[in-house]
């Protein structure tokens, strides 16, 4: 098979890595890819959001399966266009992708199907939004309706912060059109869990769990990022809790989407808050999490191409998904300054020394080779230093041993990824 992966991050590198291991894959292409992906796949210089060119390329190269990493092309309808031309895809169509494209739509859907989530209200009027906040008090959460690259959420701990979030979205327009409408919701407290289910339009199959760290700095402090590290499986997830998540959240969602005439194909990523009243859905994403995906791919034992094909063909009931017993940890190295302004084109050295550490795999995100053949950083999140081990502590130790080998003075990373899981393991000893 000829397989095309769309995207350029660490998530897509790990997907390419898993696909490249499959005997079914005879040619792997990535659009646009990065310097790490280029070691596994042929990279073509087409932006992930340039849908027409991706469709044309897929037709002319007779691609058998397109796997889409990021949400934006999905929300723009890449799957609909590819399918119109008879090209198999792994990912939801535009209607099903609305679950991530509009938080208001998602919340209305959750309410209609009685799926446990935070209480909320939708606003496109500034005064009404502020009156609601004043009435409810803080802490309170303000979200832009549309996609804002993970930055449209404010967890407001005081009134000024809450009212400023409304102004930022609706008057100052800092999220563009995404902030024309906002959602204000109840603050939930608890530990967060990323839960994944693979879907074929008819059924959903559990596809692993992970926990990530969104804050930029140690101690879960600092600004929110796309994710500074992750570990899998999530130690907080017990079999009893998984049953509740499947019965009360995933299954009603899949059936609800069928009922709405928008069956879901691809990977459904439930962002959950484990509250003292049980799991509550924070949000749905319609693609793999990044940095979570990297930890899932390292633990997956089954052939991913079989899984993607079964999902695309509506045949998930015919396969089983197997996992390694090992745990996996991913430590993200980012450019200094991220998630705000950061320097580009800084040189990274000694990556091979990290890769030589037992059980360690490095997935690239924003990397590129310069004209001198040196590896350079061109994005905010740049490298994913991953390792596996018998438990999270072992995996984390190996990952940090590898991080320490990398010579990149312009990068930074958190030193405490997986701290909760490590503390739990210490207590269990």
Q: Which residues bind ligand GLY (CB under 6 A)?
A: 150, 212, 227, 285, 289-290, 292
Residue closer to ligand GLY by CB (options 185, 290) is: 290
Instruction: From the list ligand AMP, ligand GLY, none, pick the one residue 190 interacts with, judged by a Cβ distance below 5 to 8 Å according to partner type.
Output: none
Q: How far apart, in whole angstroms, are the C-alpha atoms of residue 116 and residue 145? A: 19
Structure tokens at 420: 């909760």
Q: Among the candidate windows 6-14, 37-45, 149-157, 386-394, which touches ligand AMP by CB under 6 A?
A: 149-157
3-state secondary structure of 417: coil
From the list 107, 13, 19, the residue with the least C-alpha distance to 300 is 19
For residue 342, give every residue at least 6 positions away whose Cβ sits within 8 Å of its Cβ, in sequence order, or none: 334, 335, 336, 380
Residue closer to ligand GLY by CB (options 87, 327) is: 327
Q: How far apart, in whole angstroms, are the C-alpha atoms of residue 13 and residue 147? A: 23
- Compute the least distance from the CB of residue 33 to ligand GLY, in Å: 19
Residue closer to ligand GLY by CB (options 11, 130) is: 11
Does 230 bind ligand AMP (CB under 6 A)? Our answer is no
Instruction: From the list ligand AMP, ligand GLY, none, pick the one residue 212 interacts with, judged by a Cβ distance below 5 to 8 Å according to partner type.
Output: ligand GLY
Complete DSSP assignment for 192-241: EEEEEEEEESS-EEEEEEEEE--EEEGGGEEEE-S-SEEEES-TT--HHH
- Compute the least distance from the CB of residue 292 to ligand GLY, in Å: 6
Residue closer to ligand AMP by CB (options 185, 303) is: 185
Does 118 bind ligand AMP (CB under 6 A)? Our answer is yes
Does 187 bind ligand AMP (CB under 6 A)? Our answer is yes
- Compute the least distance from the CB of residue 345 to ligand GLY, in Å: 26
Place of tokens 């300054």: 337
380 within 8 A of 342, measured Cβ to Cβ: yes
Contact with ligand AMP (CB under 6 A) among 29, 153, 184, 298 = 153
3-state secondary structure of 126: helix
Positions that interact with ligand AMP (CB under 6 A): 118, 141, 150, 153, 155, 185-188, 192, 214, 271, 282-283
């Amino acid at each position: 098979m000829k397989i095309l992966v769309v995207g350029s991050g660490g998530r897509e590198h790990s997907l390419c890595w898993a696909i490249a291991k499959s005997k079914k894959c005879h040619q792997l292409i990535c659009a646009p890819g990065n310097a790490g992906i280029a070691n596994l796949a042929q990279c073509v210089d087409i932006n992930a959001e340039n849908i027409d060119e991706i469709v044309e390329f897929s037709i002319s190269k007779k691609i058998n399966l397109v796997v889409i990493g990021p949400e934006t092309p999905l929300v723009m309808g890449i799957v609909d266009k590819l399918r119109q031309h008879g090209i198999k895809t792994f990912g939801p169509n535009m209607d099903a992708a609305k679950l991530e494209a509009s938080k208001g739509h998602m919340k209305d859907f959750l309410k209609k199907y009685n799926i446990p989530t935070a209480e909320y209200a939708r606003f496109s009027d500034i005064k009404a939004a502020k009156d609601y906040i004043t009435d409810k008090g803080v802490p309170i959460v303000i979200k832009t309706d549309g996609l804002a690259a993970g930055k449209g959420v404010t967890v407001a701990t005081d009134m000024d912060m809450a009212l400023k979030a409304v102004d930022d979205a609706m008057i100052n327009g800092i999220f563009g059109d995404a902030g024309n409408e906002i959602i204000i919701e109840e603050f939930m407290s608890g530990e967060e869990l990323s839960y994944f289910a693979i879907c074929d339009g008819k059924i959903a199959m559990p596809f692993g769990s992970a926990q990530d760290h969104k804050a930029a700095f140690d101690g879960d402090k600092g600004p929110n990022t796309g994710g500074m590290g992750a570990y899998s499986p999530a130690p907080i997830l017990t079999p009893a809790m998984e049953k509740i998540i499947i019965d009360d959240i995933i299954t009603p969602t899949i059936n609800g989407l069928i009922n709405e005439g928008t069956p879901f194909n691809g990977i459904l990523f439930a962002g959950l808050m484990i509250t003292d009243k049980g799991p509550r859905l924070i949000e749905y994403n319609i693609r793999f999490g990044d940095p979570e995906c990297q930890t899932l791919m390292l633990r997956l034992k089954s052939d991913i191409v079989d899984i993607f094909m079964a999902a695309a063909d509506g045949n998930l009931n015919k396969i089983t998904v197997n996992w390694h017993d090992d745990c996996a940890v991913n430590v993200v190295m980012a450019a200094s300054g991220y998630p705000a302004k950061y320097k580009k084109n800084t040189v990274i050295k000694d990556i091979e020394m990290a890769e030589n550490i037992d059980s360690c795999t490095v997935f690239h995100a924003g990397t590129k080779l310069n004209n001198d053949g040196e590896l350079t950083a061109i994005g905010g999140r740049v490298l994913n230093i991953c390792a596996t081990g018998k438990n999270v502590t072992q995996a984390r130790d190996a990952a940090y041993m590898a991080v320490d080998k990398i010579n990149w003075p312009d990068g930074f990373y958190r030193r405490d990824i997986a701290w909760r899981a490590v503390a739990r393991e210490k207590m269990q000893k």
